[in-house]
Amino acid sequence: MNTIIKSAKSSDITSQSALLVIDVQNDFCPGGTLAVAGGDEVVAEINKISGYFSTVVLTQDWHPQGHHSFASSYADAAPFSSAELAYGSQTLWPDHCIQGSYGATFHPDLNTDCASLVIRKGMNASVDSYSGFTEADRQTTTGLAAWLQARNITSVYCVGLATDFCVGWTALDASAAGLKTTVITSACRAIDMGGSLAAMREAWDKAGVMEIDQIAVTE
């Protein structure tokens, strides 16, 4: 079982570390169409943490209307049911993060000025995309791994929404790309649908992804 370490030192963060801020968007916050409980609570913590990093990457769900992961794209399909797509079983979500909509924009209090890069994902109507590295077909990449490698990044810290889906898959793919990978749990919130959080933590444990509760400031 993956053990959560209470904290890590801010002095451990170097020029070779990057913060990956995953999908802190209005539709995933209270009042959004796919709200994560307490989703807006991560914003202040992420804003604080981002000050420790010289490299910050934001990811943003950016779906076209009628995306194949939306329940509304199928006759009589209920949200949170599933469908078989070309790449396997797909959870069908409420319509969310539609390109150009308020719901797709970042939470208004999130500090985006610090971002070195914004990765938009889920733009292919036929393929969902949880991870900031690889889409749900597990073949199409976003280019993030190469971008980090070109900047000599060797470790990443993952925060955002939701722990057991987009944050979780991003962390797994970061580890698979050879990056030392840590999830900061105080800056994440989970959906926890049908045991999804426990399953993700088990997957992290097998992949060598670490969990910490917070980053402690060191002088």
Q: Which residues are catalytic?
A: 23, 121, 166
Token pair of 216 as six digits: 């402690």
Among 120, 132, 103, 131, which residue's Cα sits nearest to residue 32?
103
**Cα–Cα distance, 67 to 185 (Å, whole number):** 30
**Cα–Cα distance, 198 to 211 (Å, whole number):** 13
Q: Is 140 left (phi over 0), alpha (psi -120 to 50) or beta?
A: beta
- Give the other-Cβ count within 10 Å of 70's Cβ: 21
Distance linking the first and last C-alpha atoms of the chain: 33
